[in-house]
Amino acid sequence: MSARILVVDDVVPNVKILEAKLTVEYYDVITASNGADALDLAVEKSPDLILLDVMMPQMDGFEVCQRLKKDVRTAHIPVVMVTALSETTDRVQGPEAGADDFLTKPVDDVALFARVKSLLRLKMMMDEFRLREETSQDLGVLSEEDSYPLSAQKGRILVIDDNKFSADQLLQAYGDKYDVTVEGDMEEAQVLARGGDFDLAVVSMNAQGFDPLRFCSRIRTFEETRQLPILTLVEESDSDRLVKGLELGVNDYVMRPIDNNELIVRTKTQVLRKQYQDRLRHNYHRSMELAVTDGLTGLYNRRYMSNHLDSLLQKAENDFKPVSLLIMDIDFFKNVNDSHGHDVGDYVLKAFSSRIGRSVRGIDLACRYGGEEFVVVMPDTDLAVGSGVAERLRREVADYPFDVSKSEIQLDLTCSIGVTMSTHGEKSDSLLKRADEALYQAKRDGRNRVVSA
């Protein structure tokens, strides 16, 4: 995959080496020799990834990373700290500053490129969700409050380790910070992962009873766990397995012997990222739902119905099956608003919608057409069945008063319904027009009745 990478290092040979390696892999490379220039370029060029040296004069890499993560324009850019430092405290300080990973010089090429590809894949996905969220806000489907960062929830972690001593160490390290489930059987762990809504999977690469790489691979193939972050625990001498894990989609790793501080920091980073990613995905699906439904009644809106009806009619023509359509209107609904107020009117609309839902099938499409008008589209349904459903709905409204509990009033209401059935080759506009004409005929004939066209 092609991407723009910003390399930041005050030592020119280091910059040139990384630039040459990345360019050979067809990445677009831009460079900076100090923190101030790096911050400016991050805003101006909007790189997809930043490789950031720690030891720089005036402003070290930790401060640069903190500033990047505090700026809304650059906070989403993955940062990999690259340094000659190798102490555990340095590996902890990087993630605490907001870095996505920490690599020690001299950097192994295979590990570097595996990390770069992993972070770029993640960024592409996150960018797509952020763009959809911004679009939903621009359209007014989501409010700005929906984009505020959520407070961190207590994360759920699945530990896959068949060594009891090692698993107990992890439980002790996590303490009560996380809700931890330990499983030593790979097949059972897969079942738990697919149904457990976990925020992180911690996989021991020292497992004896199963292949941990096989487990990581399977996690990435299941739809339910494809986005589940994976943190591996690996021996420093087992670099081949680590690199392979990164290629398979492992998000991060901690070297054995495990430093608890580093484990907690890296765990926190992955859990927070997963929760943020889940929030973006939730907002996206919610915006899609809000875009096609009526906010008051919860039924589909007119735009969705119109598009869906065209598709249904085309399918019905191909299958030589009819489509019936009902248009209904609450009789004298204006009097409800005028006499009792719009709150009561809204209650009636919602209650009316509920009665529609109880009277139609799961495959039928019910929508609020506008005001007090509603439409039900019934696939594979002839006029006789459609008329029968309409008559049942009319009785459901007329025979049972609407009890408005908060206003302590009871309203006796009726509805008028027009019914029609599609003809071969008919378009949605024509079908809707005939049903609408039947509705108005029902009103002219005295209301509280069903008229078929």
Residue with tokens 């950031």: 52
- Superfamily of domain 1-107 in CATH is Response regulator (3.40.50.2300)
Q: How confident is the model at residue 83 (pLDDT cuts 50, 70, 90)?
A: confident
pLDDT in the model for residue 86: 65
Closest to 375 measured CA to CA, from 385, 364, 384, 367 = 367
CA distances, 121 to each of 155, 234, 291 (Å): 23, 23, 28
How many Å apart are CA 382 and CA 361, to the nearest integer? 14
More confident site: 271 or 137? 271
User: Same CATH fold, 121-282 and 1-107?
Assistant: yes
Sheet holding 79-83, edge to edge: 28-32, 4-8, 49-53, 79-83, 101-104
Closest to 120 measured CA to CA, from 219, 256, 25 = 25
Which residues make Cβ contacts (< 8 Å) with residue 407, sequence separation at least 6? 340, 343, 344
| pLDDT tens for each residue of 192-202 | 999 988 999 99
Average pLDDT, the chain: 87
Classify domain 302-452 by CATH number: 3.30.70.270
Q: How confident is the model at residue 150 (pLDDT cuts 50, 70, 90)?
A: very low
With vertex at residue 86, the alpha carbon angle to CA 84 and CA 88, rounded to the nearest 5 degrees, is 150
Q: Residue 126, class by beta-carbon neighbours within 10 Å (0-12 exposed, 13-18 middle, 19+ buried)? A: middle
| pLDDT tens for each residue of 112-136 | 887 788 788 778 777 766 666 665 5
Arithmetic mean of pLDDT, 83-101: 76
| pLDDT tens for each residue of 2-14 | 799 999 999 999 9
Percent helix, percent strand, percent coil in the chain, to nearest 5? 50, 20, 30
| pLDDT tens for each residue of 231-275 | 999 998 888 888 889 888 898 888 899 988 889 888 988 898 888
pLDDT in the model for residue 133: 61
Residues shown for the chain:
453
DSSP-based three-state secondary structure for 1:
coil
Residue with tokens 């943020």: 276
CATH class of 121-282: alpha beta
**What does DSSP say about strands 373-379 and 365-370: parallel, antiparallel, or unpaired?**
antiparallel
Residue 30 phi, psi dihedral angles, 5° rounding = -120, 155
How many Å apart are CA 189 and CA 120, to the nearest integer? 28
**What does DSSP say about strands 230-235 and 200-204: parallel, antiparallel, or unpaired?**
parallel
For residue 279, the surrounding DSSP H or E stretch is helix 260-292
Q: Which amino acid is at 282?
A: H
Domain boundaries along the sequence of the chain = 1-107, 121-282, 302-452
User: How many other CB atoms are found less than 10 A from the CB of residue 221?
Assistant: 9
**What does DSSP say about strands 79-83 and 252-256: parallel, antiparallel, or unpaired?**
unpaired
Active site (catalytic) residues: 372
CA distances, 74 to each of 46, 48, 280 (Å): 7, 10, 17
